[in-house]
Amino acid sequence: MMDPIFPPKDSMYHRLNPLCMMLWSLSVVVAALVFDNPVYLTLLFTATVLVAIYAKVFRGWMSYMKYCIWLCMLIMLLNPFFSHHGTHILYVFPFNVPLIGRPEISLEAIAYGAGMSLRLLTIMSAFASLLYTVNPDDLLDSLTRFRLFPKSTYVTSLAFRFMPALIRDSDTLTEVQESRGIRLNSGNMIQRVKARIPVIFPLLSNSLDRAVQVSEAMESRAFGCNSKRTFYKNPAIGGLEYTILFLSVLTVLAAACIRYVGFGSYNYYPSLEPITFTFEEIPYIIVFTILVFSIIPLAQINSRGLR
Amino acid sequence: MKKSYIILCLVSVLGLFSFLIPVFLPDSVFDPSSSAFSWGLFVSTVMFLGVAAFLLEFERSNVGSKEIGFIAVLGAVSAALRVPFAVVPGMQPSTFLIICSGYVFGPVAGFMVGALTALLSNIFLGMGPWTLYQVFAWGFIGFVSGFVNLNRRWKLVLTGFFGGYLFGGIMNLWFWSAFIYPLNLNTFLAVNVNSFWFDSLHAVGNGVFLWVFGPKTIKIFKRYRNRFHIEQI
């Protein structure tokens, strides 16, 4: 059912338990939020790119990342307008803007925008690596087993399974109405909305009928009668996968620890700090790098069956 | 109104205000310019806890297979309708469905439909840090719709109109707190002014959708709700 959207691929990351990729991606997202220093953010971003390359999903990853290019440009454009805290002024506009005064473009504001864009790219890249290596259906299935928000996870899983059927229904209904001569994409906003009446109401009624059928099927299988659910598939989780999960948690703790001892931050204002590392910081960076990149060799070993 | 709903509303409002700490308490310990504090992580945690509070309410509620089926389908329809309209700014049919769901099936179901809309549609449109905020924003609109009596067409249109600005306001909070420096009242207002055009389009779009589809959609939803409603005498 999901094949057209999530084509099945085979790589060492696809063979991992979905929870491993989820926890690793989350650890990258949290670490990206913890650090301001561009060096740490670049390390995290590189790790996500390498995972996308080794997982053979780089093309999909690229198509996903293009979504945030516009947002990055917006961040880099807006920051110089809002911030008057930089000391290296590159240009002063000859007019005043209400609320923000006379805009000044400073080197620091551009760098701040670039730094925030790098953070956004890292977070997006972590999400993209997760989405292209794990089928959301499998991920939701794994989460249901943990019984953390079981009803919510089940509803999400059920809704996700409805999606392709609904998109197909919506396409069919649109084609049917267009073949009857109804113009869906002409006229003003209200005319366009009104033209969709013969698409939306049959889609709604169909879907609600489908909901009734699913509910009856669930009830006939005694849904909710037994607090402990059983599952059709029981994917095994090996020692190396537990190690990846453990190291992902350790990555978050290491990031918090590094920030606590005073490293990993960076001040863009009032003027850009030089990026230097003290002798005490280097061991922290090495340990953090090992933790973030450890998923690559571990997934390789796991895929060879050396559990 | 149930006591837990009041607590949820309070938590949501307090959570949203915690974003505004830099505006009201610029030199406090939460000041994002202090290098010892990760503001981005703090606000994301607040938002995550807000969403978790609503999810816990859903877990606690006495929902059966029928309600689960309806919520799943409505969330999927709402998400599926968002995908083809994503390229047209302001034309988001999802919000009208979320408002109707919240009104007919109750606040918790409304929240879940809103949350599912953001979560599912972003799998196709792009998952990112904004997803958590969209989950909260749409969920909150669905939740609030459960408390409003939308028995007149103008009330529906008004709710949709304000819903558009509420959604935009919450998303602006995210953009402002995550990417703008310095965090003060001027930059907060400037970000809102900057997105005013898009938020207005969303608000007007909601109003149009609710004016055209609202009453009939509510009629269909009520028919299905009553079909499976059991009253013990």
**Separation between Cα atoms, residue A17 and residue A125, nearest integer Å:** 20
List CB contacts (< 8 A) between B126 and chain A.
64, 67-68, 124
Strands (DSSP E) found in chain A: 89-92, 104-106
At residue A89, what are phi and psi to the nearest 5 degrees? Answer: -80, 125
CATH of the domain at B161: 1.10.1760.20
ipTM: 0.85
Residue-number span of the structural domain to which B222 is assigned: 64-227
Residues in CB range of A209: below 8 A, 6 or more apart: none
Least Cα separation, residue B233 to chain A (angstroms): 23
Residue in chain B nearest A147 by alpha carbon: B59
Q: What is the pLDDT of residues B33-91, one digit of tens each?
A: 554 556 777 778 888 888 988 898 888 888 888 888 899 999 999 988 887 676 666 67
Q: List the structure tokens of B220.
A: 């269909």
Residue given tokens 């889609």 in the structure block: A203
Which residues of B, range 97-156, sit inside 8 Å of A by Cβ? 112, 116, 119-120, 123-129
| Strand (E) or helix (H) holding A289 | helix A281-293
Query: According to the model, what pLDDT value does residue A307 have?
Result: 47
Residue in chain A nearest B121 by alpha carbon: A163
Query: According to the model, what pLDDT value does residue A291 have?
Result: 94
Q: What is the mean pLDDT of each run of 10 residues along chain A (307 residues)?
A: 54 83 93 90 95 89 84 84 79 78 84 90 91 84 79 89 85 87 76 79 87 87 75 75 92 92 83 84 93 88 62
Q: What is the pLDDT of residues B137-170, one digit of tens each?
A: 999 999 999 988 888 888 999 999 999 999 999 8
B27: confidence class by pLDDT, cuts 50, 70, 90: low
> Chain-wide mean pLDDT for chain B?
83
List CB contacts (< 8 A) between B191 and chain A.
78
CB pairs under 8 A between A and B: 192
List CB contacts (< 8 A) between B59 and chain A.
149-152
B49 at A interface, C-beta within 8 A: no
Is the residue at B181 inside a domain? yes
What's the sign of the alpha-carbon dihedral A178, A181, A185, A191?
A: negative
What residues form DSSP beta bridges with A105?
A91
Cβ-contact B138, B95 below 8 angstroms? yes
Domain boundaries, chain A: 18-134+238-303, 141-220
A1 at B interface, C-beta within 8 A: no
Query: According to the model, what pLDDT value does residue A225 have?
Result: 76
The residue with greater pLDDT, B219 or A148, is B219
Is the residue at B30 inside a domain? no
| Strand (E) or helix (H) holding A182 | none
B109: confidence class by pLDDT, cuts 50, 70, 90: very high
Q: List the structure tokens of A269.
A: 């204002």
**Largest Cα span, chain A:** 74
Residues in CB range of A67: below 8 A, 6 or more apart: A124, B125, B126, B128
Number of domains in chain B: 1
Is the residue at B120 inside a domain? yes
List CB contacts (< 8 A) between A212 and chain B.
66, 69, 224, 228
Query: Is A219 within 8 Å of B65 when comparing Cβ atoms?
Result: yes
Least Cα separation, residue A104 to chain B (angstroms): 14
Query: According to the model, what pLDDT value does residue B24 have?
Result: 67
The residue with greater pLDDT, B210 or B25, is B210
